[in-house]
Amino acid sequence: MQKRKLGKSNLEVSTLGLGCMGMSFSYGPPKDRQEMTALLRAAVEHGVTFFDTAEVYGPFTNEALLGEALAPFRGQVVIATKFGFDLNPNLDPRGMTGAPGLNSRPTHIKQAVDGSLKRLKIETIDLLYQHRVDPNVPIEDVAGAVKELIEQGKVKRFGLSEAGVKTIRRAHAVQPLTALQSEYSLWTRTPEKEVLPALEELGIGLVPYSPLGKGFLTGKMDANTKFDSTDFRSTLPRFTPEALKDNQALVDLLGQIGKRRHATPAQIALAWLLAQKPWIVPIPGTTKLNRLEENIGSVAVELTPDDLLDIERAASKITVHGARYPEKLEQMTGR
């Protein structure tokens, strides 16, 4: 596995990380804990050193899973987690459809970090993200609280998730950001217009979540795909049968390039992301070993300038149908 540095920080991680949310949350019922422990350890054996979780995943159970599974590898792995929600036992198991309230008040951040440290069984959080920007708390106060936690040794680095450029700049001025986590893939290219240039200017890395379009870009779905009621995707406009059918052209494109490069659609989608910037580290999630190995295989896929041009030309003619989130959740992004 190759390594990359997130922006100008000295944080070096595996070129591909592992998004762990689906092991406990959002994509149907929680998976078997022993199986997920084995998968997490297999990821380390395959060279993955960057793992992504959050207190809201479960809530809490995903952090506890990583804390136990990765305990033998302390010092070898980087664990990123997130704060920013008011959590309660009645949280909708499909994910954030029940929309727990945002809470980034400094006192709450400090409580959240203490809880995460216990569940993750670590003394310091490698990378701490604000999960969503809280419009009721100035970002300077959020960055200031994290700065204090860094000074106390409880946190090493600060990041934001789904933040807009103005917020990124304001936060970075108080406590330098190591990374921004946002959705970015061939079917969600929103960051390209303003966010990517700002990150490059400031020396901040990008960690794309859902780099495979929540599974769609693997080519394993079509208009007949059915989602369990506990699957977050059952609530997303982009995953209606009509939208899945209309968006198939994107998967067909990945398949065509894949045949040329002897790679799967998923591998081409990830290789395309890796080719955009050297400071981009995608975190595809999976609960299956064969998918983990397939994703890791993307690191060896080198797309030529002609490949990238062909993808760009074809993708520019494809209109993606369906919003990525319901309106209430979409409003939490880009602030």
In a domain, 82, yes or no: yes
Q: How far is C-alpha 36 from the geometric centre of its chain's CA atoms?
A: 18
In tens, the pLDDT along 171-194 reads: 999 999 999 999 999 999 999 999
In tens, the pLDDT along 215-237 reads: 999 989 888 999 988 899 999 99
List CB contacts of 168: < 8 A, sequence separation 6 or more.
160, 177, 180, 195, 198, 199, 202, 204
Identify whether 57 is a catalytic site residue: yes
Q: Do 18 and 51 form a contact (C-beta atoms < 8 A)?
A: yes
Percent of the chain with pLDDT over 90: 83
Instruction: Count the neighbouring beta carbons within 10 Å of the beta carbon of residue 28.
Output: 18
Using alpha carbons, select from 162, 160, 183 the residue that is nearest to residue 170.
160
Q: Would you state the pLDDT for residue 292?
A: 98
Domain count, the chain: 1
Would the pLDDT of 97 be above 60?
no
Q: Per DSSP, which regions of the chain are E strands? A: 3-5, 12-14, 18-19, 50-52, 78-83, 127-130, 158-161, 177-183, 205-209
Average pLDDT of span 324-335: 90
Per annotation, catalytic residue among 57, 129, 184, 325: 57
Q: Would you state the pLDDT for residue 120?
A: 98
Q: Would you state the pLDDT for residue 33?
A: 97
Of 325 and 147, the one with more pLDDT: 147
* Confidence label for 88 from pLDDT (cuts 50, 70 and 90): low
In a domain, 156, yes or no: yes
Would the pLDDT of 93 be above 90?
no
Q: Which of 81-90, 194-203, 278-287 has the lowest mean pLDDT?
A: 81-90
CATH (domain of 81) = 3.20.20.100
In a domain, 239, yes or no: no
Q: Would you state the pLDDT for residue 99?
A: 55
The token pair at 153 is 């040794």
In DSSP terms, 183 is beta-bridged to 209
In tens, the pLDDT along 279-304 reads: 999 999 999 999 999 999 999 999 99
Domain that holds residue 210: 3-215+276-299
In a domain, 107, yes or no: yes
Instruction: Count the neighbouring beta carbons within 10 Å of the beta carbon of residue 252.
Output: 13
In a domain, 315, yes or no: no
In a domain, 251, yes or no: no
Would the pLDDT of 90 be above 60?
no
Mean pLDDT of the chain: 94
* Axis crossing angle, helix 61-69 with helix 106-120, rounded to the nearest 10: 40
In a domain, 313, yes or no: no
The token pair at 290 is 């064969």
Give the global pTM.
0.95
Q: Would you state the pLDDT for residue 217?
A: 93
The C-alpha atoms of residue 159 and residue 161 are separated, in whole angstroms, by: 7
Q: Which of 4-18, 214-228, 271-285 has the lowest mean pLDDT?
A: 214-228
Average pLDDT of span 254-258: 94
The token pair at 137 is 């708390």
Q: Would you state the pLDDT for residue 27?
A: 87
In a domain, 77, yes or no: yes
The C-alpha atoms of residue 121 and residue 297 are separated, in whole angstroms, by: 31
